[in-house]
Chains A and B, each alone.
Chain A
Amino acid sequence: MTSAFKSIRSGLPLLLAIAVLMGLFRIWVPQFLGAENLLDLAQQISVNAILAYGMTLVILIGGIDLSVGAVVALVGTVTVAGLAHHGVALGICAGFAMATLFGIINGVCAAGTRMPPFIITLATMLVARGVALRFNDGRPLAVPDAERFFLGLGNARLFGFLPVPVLLMLAAFTVTAVLLHRTRWGQHLYAIGGNREAARFTGIPLARNEVLVYVLCALLAGLAGMIHASQLYSAEPAAGQGFELNAIAAVVVGGTSFTGGIGSVRGTLIGAIVIGVLDKGLNQAGVHFSLQYIVKGLVILAAVYLDVRRRKQ
Chain B
Amino acid sequence: MKNIPLKLRWLLIGSVGCLLTGCGDQPASVAPPAGAGRQFGVSFQTMNNPFFVDLNEGLKKSIEAHGDRLTTLDAQFNSLKQKNDISDLIQQQPAAIFINPVNWEGIKGSLLEAKRKNIPVIIVDAPVSDPDLVLCQVASDNVEAGRLACEALAQIKPNARIVILHLSVNKACIDRVDGFKAELARHPGMKVLDVQEGKGTTEAARPVMRDLLGRFPDLDAAFPINDPSALGCISAIESAGKLGQVTVVTVDGSREGAAAIVSGKLHSTSAQYPGEIGRVAAEKAYDHLAGKPVAKDVKIPVKLVTKANASEFLK
Contacts and interface: CB of A to CB of B under 8 A. Distances in A.
User: Does chain A bind chain B?
Assistant: yes
A19 to B, nearest CB: 5
B109 A232 contact: yes
A284 B91 contact: yes
Interface stretch (A111-119, A237-245, A248-256): A237-245
B108 A26 contact: no
A22 B112 CA distance: 28
Contacts of B88: 40, 44, 279-280, 283-284
A160 interface: no
B84 A279 contact: yes
Interface stretch (A96-104, A133-141, A174-182): A133-141
Nearest to A45: B84
Contacts of B112: 155
Interface stretch (B16-24, B234-242, B249-257, B282-290): B16-24
A29 B4 CA distance: 35
The 9 residue pairs across chains A and B that have the minimum distance between CB atoms: A232-B106, A234-B105, A31-B29, A283-B88, A233-B108, A289-B74, A30-B29, A44-B84, A286-B71
B154 interface: no
Nearest to A230: B109
Interface string B99-136: 00001111111001000000000000000010000000
A23 B80 contact: no
B189 to A, nearest CB: 28
B89 interface: yes
Given A23-B19, A139-B168, A231-B109, A283 B72 contact: no
13 contacts: A5-B1, A15-B12, A19-B19, A30-B29, A33-B20, A37-B91, A138-B197, A140-B103, A140-B105, A232-B108, A233-B109, A234-B108, A238-B169
A9 B168 contact: no
Given A30-B29, A234-B105, 11 more contacts: A15-B16, A19-B12, A19-B15, A29-B92, A139-B169, A142-B105, A232-B105, A233-B106, A283-B88, A284-B88, A286-B69
Contacts of B47: 289
Contact of A242 (B78, B85, B87): B78
Nearest to A228: B80
B65 interface: no
B92 A232 contact: no
A34 B20 CA distance: 8
- The majority secondary structure among interface residues of chain B is mixed
Interface of A: 1-2, 5, 9, 12, 15-16, 19, 22-23, 26, 29-31, 33-34, 36-37, 40, 43-44, 47, 137-142, 154-155, 228, 231-234, 236, 238-239, 241-242, 279-280, 283-284, 286, 288-289
A288 B9 CA distance: 35
Contact of B80 (A9, A37, A239, A280): A239
Contacts of B104: 140
A136 to B, nearest CB: 10
Nearest to A145: B108
Nearest to B130: A233
Contacts of A5: 1, 4
Contacts of B83: 231-232
B72 A232 contact: no
B103 A26 contact: no
Given A22-B19, A142-B129, A284 B106 contact: no
Contacts of A238: 169
A30 B72 contact: no
Contacts of B69: 286
B109 A44 contact: no
A119 B222 CA distance: 36
Contacts of A16: 12
